[in-house]
Structure 1
Amino acid sequence: MGIFKKSPEQLLMQEALKLAQDIAQPKIVTQGGGGGSETRWRGASRMLRSMVSWIPGLGSPRRDLASSERSMLVARSRDAMRNHLIARAAIMRLRTNVVGTGLVCRAQVDTEALGLSEEEGDALNAKLDRVWSIYADDPRECDAEATLNHYQLQALVLVSSLVGGDVLVSTPDEERTGCVFSTRLQLIETDRLSNPGRALDTARIVEGVEFDALGAPVRYHVCSGYPNELTLGAELRWDKLEAFGAVTGRRRVLHIMADKERPGQKRGAPYLAPVLEPLQKLERYSSAELMAAVVSAMFTVFIEKSSEFDDEKMNLASLVNGGEGASTDDDDGGDIQLGEGAIIDLGRGEKATTVNPGRPNAQFDPFFMAVVKEIGAALELPAEEILLFYSSSYSAARAAMLQAWRFYSLRRWWLTCDFCQPSRELIIDEAVARGLIDLPGYADPLKRKAYCQALWIGPARGAIDELKEANAAGKRIEIGVSNETLETAAMTGEPWQQVYRQRAREIDQRRQDGNYQLPKGAQPEPEAPNTNQE
């Protein structure tokens, strides 16, 4: 019997198979003192006890935010907004600090690109501001429902996008008697944006958003009603809203998303989606503790009757409670409820047992604050800002406020880019077309951008210590790291030019009245030399 010898090719194939098996089933590498992992990254292990049940799947943005799951997230977010205190506090805090009384627009045309002097630029800015104020201040001009002005629409757009994940703003053209403009802003809730006939998603349509080969939106399919709500005698239809104008390329529909976290994502998830579970548990825990405290506060007296007590006579409980609320042997098993200072009458053979729920619970507040801190970290809002409770030092409270304002500034910028500035550009387009303002060369895309540049100013941040903030602002200006325009907008929410002009008018008026006083430390102006000769 001869010895079978493997050829070099066979030996090479055998080594390759062994290597493939080692890769497919790697050996567990034991690490000193601790557990073992079969992977180089412990987070990728499928054998560690802490990771064995954590096996999420990889999916596209469409799959990871499926229509059914997204609908449930929206429904729960709305319910949390209505009934959960912490959830409502987070949304309302954003509305108040991001929008407040509204983001005010101040035109800032690019004078260099347009070849204008500073004086000509200021005059043009004033004209553009007047045109915008005609539209923004009047609900009949801007709102399709003729209910809210542009500043109120800003708040509604923000809240709707945060709670629903996204919101559409269409721009129908409709003439109204007594109005200057015909461009209206119509807000469309996220529920109405869906596939025609409730059909499944396709390669080019995802939950009502139709897009081209590059992923850019082409049109939006909007239901005439709410697909999940049955209305008697109303037949649902789906309208196609073009995203951009076919001739001019202007934005016709604004799609405002709360957050776009992945490339290719077509619909947004609610702002509260990551914290819905702890929000629900915390709300139930808070309600249970509150009910336990109420029960503990109810001091109830139980009276056990002897056999000699005459049932036909008014018992003690009836006397104390004014003849009402007493329970006797003849009662037909009605509900017994606790009440402030109530006396419950017991029947023969019954014995009272007191229960002390031990409330208020001393551990409630530390645990509650710990959960709120985790929720706030996920929402980018410090717990002090959510609860409006600053109990620590000035430095800690100011640090929490500054951190929250970083988030507010980001949301304000996002709202400006997605809603405020696009809607303003539509109005400037219409104003030029109607001849309300003359902007030479406006048809040129570069000049159009130069004409449409603007500064959006929101409510001021405020300060914990006004004197310290004012001194810090003056120091920043003095050393050259800031300017009066930025500091004025941050502290008052008003443009510096407007504040300066108003202040100059006040000083002139005081000088004319003879009651003007120089600021502290200012040098008096030198008197003009007397040129009269005798």
Structure 2
Amino acid sequence: MGWFNRTSPEEKAVRAAVALMQGQPTAQGGGGGSETRWRGASRMLRSMVSWVPRLGSATRDLSKTERGTLVARSRDAMRNHLLGRAAVVRVRSSVVGTGLICRPQVDHEALGISEEQADQLNTHLEREWTLYAEDPRECDAEATSTHYQQQAIALMSALTGGDVFVATPDIERPGTLYSTRLQLLETDRICNPNAQPDNEQLCEGIEFDPDTGAPIAVWICNGYPDEKRLTRPLKWERLEVFGAVTGRRRVLQVWCDKERPGQKRGAPYLAPVLEPLQKLERYSSAELMAAVISAMFTVFLKKGESFNQSNLPMSALGNEQPEGAAPDLPPVELGEGAVVDLAPGEEPITANPARPNAQFDPFFMAVAKEIGAALELPVEELLLYYSSSYSAARAAMLQAWRMYSLRRWWLVCDFCQPSYELLVDEAVARGRIRLPGYSDPARRRAYTRAVWIGPARGAIDELKEAKAAQARIDAGLSNETIEAAAMTGETWQQIYRQRKREVDQRRADQMELPNSKQAAPAETNQEE
């Protein structure tokens, strides 16, 4: 008859779920049990019951409305929040700085030419690129910025807007060598025509292939859709991403971050930290105002019954009053060490604000560390405050440069290298440079290979860094090209050529070479 008291598996599961919701232990072991194998997937644990996110595509998880709000708040944080601006400009200054310099590196083996011929081509290509990149009238559709300045603008706009687009119109100008221009377009101007909703082939101004997801065209507004225009109505222009005949890049999309397959638009750099950033800014402003109020402590004086009204301060007698009427006293305001008179019968109530707050700095630093971790910026790099040891400061710089190097590589892939290839295309088409077999895609890639070198990382102790670089070269772990680019931002070839010219000039002028006095005793000792 014992089978009458048996409980079905379904009833056991229901009882276990009820016990978990009530915080009671289950038969599966103590109060820490879960109805799922992964505790993070539990829907019964009290700590997880209210965490119910939804699954969605990359487009749905970054909808048009939410992305617009994130962009607006990121731009406001860039303008008004100290930490927000610090994070964005830190990335701009370290990733781009004074500009990423193009050093052509023609693949001579793939082209079947000698190294000397490749060096000549590299020199010619670099000269043509310099003529184009350093003249705003050549490279910029607005004719205001060089290519190096455009790099910084594009990166800043992508960080605050999630992405930025670059059109490549063909504009002839008197006195210029080329007609390929780069026109930066903010993320707001790429949108669906007439605010129509997204569909299977159109997502926030990007028209794409529904089968492969490849972009086909973008819709560019002639203004900002959220701004009222009284002179001319808003219009949208459809611009193909690739040329129909040649495959030429007509539109570039510079991303801030692309984190998921199928993602069509990017999220701003500050998007994950906007909430703590706003709260920390309000807390910091409140503490600053409290400290100002504490510093502007004012003394109030109480009058007795025998106080003679004729002895009022001159500020109280600014306006003549009828006989027997109470005088109009000036408003009571805070001032730096001010003394304010009070009318008879009034009594001041003072309070000690106890500012500055001793706990402000530890709490601020704790939150700043979390924000920096989310942005891949150590707090020392974010605040430019290196107060710890040399090792800790150097570790912070190296960790930050991992992120800088990654973003520099993204910028090169999205903006710099395509710009260079467009310039070489036009140079070949205009006959300014001869590249046999350039129409072959494989040979074209061999001709347009280049290295982009940005500002050097710098060093806390340059002597230690130089000795470490020499040790890596001697041990065969690195080479002079890598170390020269990391320490000076220049290629080894340029450094060598310039150094050779300097040494030859010194010898021609019969000047003493550096370290010559130290080299002579060393040779004497070896002979002995």
Asked if TM exceeds 0.5, the reply is yes
Q: Is the 8 A contact 2:74 2:271 kept in 1?
A: yes
Match of 1:487 in 2: 483
Could you give the per-residue CA deviations for residues 273-319 of structure 1, whole angstroms, max 9, x where no partner exists?
Answer: 00000000000000011011111111311011122223233339879
Instruction: Compute the displacement of 1:26 (Å).
Output: 7.4
Which residue in the other structure is 1:303 paired with?
A: 301
**What are structure 1's unaligned runs of at least 5 residues?**
1-17, 320-327, 527-534
> 1:127 aligned to 124, 128, 131, which one?
124
Mapping 1:316-331, distance limit 5 Å: 330-331=327-328
Matches within 5 A, 1:58-207: 58-207=55-204
Give the stretch that moved more between structures: 256-265 or 24-33. 24-33
Q: Does 1:382 align with 2:366?
A: no
2:510 is aligned with 1:514? yes
**Aligned equivalents of 1:163 and 1:68: distance in 2?**
16
What residue in structure 2 maps to residue 324 of structure 1?
A: none
Please report how far the alpha carbon of residue 37 of structure 1 lies from its aligned counterpart in structure 2 after TM superposition. 1.8
- Which amino acid counterpart does residue 279 of structure 1 have in structure 2? L
Q: Kindly state the Cα deviation for residue 48 of structure 1 after the two structures are TM-superposed.
A: 1.1
Aligned to 1:39: 36
Change (3 A) 1:525 1:512: farther
Contact kept in structure 1, 2:503 and 2:513, CA below 8 Å: no
SS at match of 2:242: coil
Q: Number of matched residues?
A: 501
Question: Take 1:525 and 1:43, find their aligned partners in 2: how far apart are those partners?
Answer: 68
* Aligned equivalents of 1:476, 1:21: Cα separation in 2: 68
In 2, are the aligned partners of 1:100 and 1:459 still within 8 Å (CA)? Answer: yes
Matches within 5 A, 1:454-465: 454-465=450-461
- Which residue type is aligned with residue 407 of structure 2? R
**TM superposition shift of 1:464:** 0.2
Structure 1 residues 147 and 335: CA distance shift in structure 2, 3 A? farther
| Aligned equivalents of 1:72, 1:350: Cα separation in 2 | 51
Distance 1:263 1:447 in 2: 30
Aligned counterparts of 2:30 and 2:340: Cα–Cα separation in 1: 64
RMSD of aligned C-alpha atoms? 2.2
- Structure 1 stretches of 4+ with a deviation exceeding 6 A read 18-26, 316-319
- Give the structure 2 partner of residue 403 of structure 1: 399
Q: How has the CA–CA distance of structure 1 residues 484 and 300 changed in structure 2, closer, same or farther, with 3 Å as cutoff?
A: same
User: Unaligned stretches of 5+ in structure 2?
Assistant: 1-7, 21-25, 318-324, 524-528
Q: Please point out which of 268, 292, 295 is paired with 1:294.
A: 292
Structure 2 CA distance, aligned partners of 1:360 and 1:354?
17
Give the equivalent residue in structure 2 for 1:429: 425
Query: What is the CA–CA distance in structure 1 between the aligned matches of 2:425 and 2:407, rounded to whole Å?
Result: 26
Are residue 249 (structure 1) and residue 252 (structure 2) matched?
no
Q: Do 1:274 and 1:378's aligned partners in 2 also have CA atoms closer than 8 Å?
A: yes
Q: 1:445 to 1:380 in 2, by over 3 A?
A: same
Match of 2:519, SS state, is coil
CA gap 1:23/1:203 in 2 versus in 1, 3 angstroms: farther
Q: Percent identity?
A: 67
Within 2, Cα distance between the matches of 1:185 and 1:34? 63
- Partner of 2:311: helix, strand, or coil? coil
- 1:331 deviation in Å? 2.9
Q: Which stretch has the larger CA shift, 139-148 or 501-510? A: 501-510
Q: CA deviation at 1:166?
A: 0.5
CA distance in 2, matches of 1:335, 1:375: 44
Instruction: Say whether residues 1:49 and 2:65 are aligned partners.
Output: no
Relative distance call for 1:338 and 1:413 in structure 2 (3 A) is same
Q: What SS does the corresponding residue of 2:252 show, helix, strand or coil?
A: strand
**CA positional deviation for 1:49:** 1.1
* Residue 510 (structure 1) shift: 1.2
Kindly indicate whether the alpha-carbon contact (under 8 Å) linking 2:16 and 2:27 is maintained by their aligned counterparts in 1. no
Give the deviation of 1:65 after TM superposition: 0.6
Going from structure 1 to structure 2, the CA distance change for 1:33 and 1:22 (only over 3 Å counts) comes to: closer
Please tell me the residue identity of whatever aligns with 1:378: A
Q: Letter of the 2:478 partner, please give it.
A: S
Distance 2:186 2:217 in 1: 16
Distance 1:55 1:525, change over 3 A: closer
Q: Is the 8 A contact 1:507 1:516 kept in 2?
A: no
How far the C-alpha of 1:234 sits from its partner, in A, is 2.0
Q: Following TM superposition, by how much is the alpha carbon of 1:428 offset from its aligned partner in structure 2, in angstroms?
A: 0.2
Q: Letter of the aligned partner of 1:54 in structure 2?
A: W
1:352, distance to aligned residue in structure 2 (A): 1.2
Q: Is the 8 A contact 2:316 2:328 kept in 1?
A: no
SS of 2:370's partner is helix
Q: Distance in 1 between matches of 2:374 and 2:15?
A: 38
Alignment partner, residue 452 of structure 1: 448
**CA–CA separation in structure 1 for the residues paired with 2:47 and 2:356:** 36
Residue type at the aligned position of 1:469: E
Residues 471-521 of structure 1, C-alpha deviations (whole Å, 9 max, x = no match): 001111111111111111111111111111111111111112222235265
Which of the numbers 336, 352, 356 marks the counterpart of 1:356?
A: 352
Judged with a 3 Å threshold, the aligned counterparts in structure 2 of structure 1 residues 466 and 211 are, in CA distance, closer, same or farther, namely: same
Letter in 1 for 2:273: V
Q: Distance in 1 between matches of 2:12 and 2:195?
A: 49
Relative distance call for 1:233 and 1:517 in structure 2 (3 A) is closer
Is the alpha carbon distance of 1:78 and 1:518 closer, same or farther for their aligned partners in structure 2, counting shifts above 3 Å? closer
Partner of 1:225: 223
Bigger mean CA deviation after superposition, 143-152 or 349-358: 349-358
Letter in 2 for 1:41: W
